[in-house]
Amino acid sequence: MTDQEKSKEDQRINQNADEYFDSKFPESPLYIGPGDFECTTDPNIMLVGKVGSGVVICIFDPEIGVGGMTHFILPVAALKSFPKVNGDPGIRHVEDLIERFIRALKAHGAGKNRIRIRLYGGTSILEEFADSGLMNYVFAKDYLLRKGLMVAYVDVGGTECRRIEFHPASGKARRIKLRRTGDTEALRESEKAYLEKLRLLS
């Protein structure tokens, strides 16, 4: 068995996949769930997002070495009315999240004309919304475009959820596809819980 094959086998049998992946890096992992964001210049921090139908946005300014991650999911009412989402009260929570994220990056000195933006996710795992992943991606790209921000890299769609490991001080990112049924089920339940939270806040 090669080292690569052994690594894959270790991943498969390890019950705590996060612990397995986190042990591969010296940086401390900081998990970014739906509705969260973080930005930093700290080289000892690795931002981690596990995403299904939502979208993880990673932004990096190479000139000053600052980066950040946010993770959003459109509320149920917006998914039902897509693409006419502007009338949904829950949208303000998503837009406010992205706005606060961008303001925090600017406060760290990030420049609009220097930043590099990556999008990850958009895997539809909610049974009642077959195209929810695509809707979340289209919203993210359109919203950023309206703000005059261009997306440099996209990894969305498909049938598998993703784990994103982003090093904000260097801009390096790694995408791992989560193929275990348990990972998908856990993300599905997490997304449902967050969407219910958004419903109650609207």
End-to-end alpha carbon distance in the chain? 54
- Domain positions in the chain: 36-201
66 Cβ contact partners less than 8 Å away, ≥ 6 residues apart: 39, 40, 41, 60, 105, 108, 109, 110, 168, 169
Give residue 130's pLDDT band: very low, low, confident or very high (50, 70, 90). Answer: confident
CB-based burial, 99-118: b 16+ in 10 Å, e otherwise: eebbebbeebebeeeebebb
Residue 17's pLDDT is what? Answer: 67
Residue 2's pLDDT is what? Answer: 53
Q: Pinpoint the alpha helices (H) of 38-90.
A: 76-81
Residue 137's pLDDT is what? Answer: 97
Tokens read off for 115: 């930043």
CA distance 157 to 155: 7
Report pLDDT digits (tens) over 16-38. Answer: 667 767 777 778 999 999 999 99
CA distance 21 to 160: 17
Strand-pairing partners, residue 48, are 31, 165
Residue 84's pLDDT is what? Answer: 85
Report pLDDT digits (tens) over 157-199. Answer: 999 999 999 999 999 999 999 988 899 999 999 999 999 988 8
Residue 86's pLDDT is what? Answer: 73
Task: State mean pLDDT over 114-143.
Answer: 94
pTM beyond cutoff 0.75: yes
* CATH dotted code for 36-201: 3.30.1330.200
Give residue 13's pLDDT band: very low, low, confident or very high (50, 70, 90). Answer: very low
Q: What does the mean pLDDT of the chain come to?
A: 89
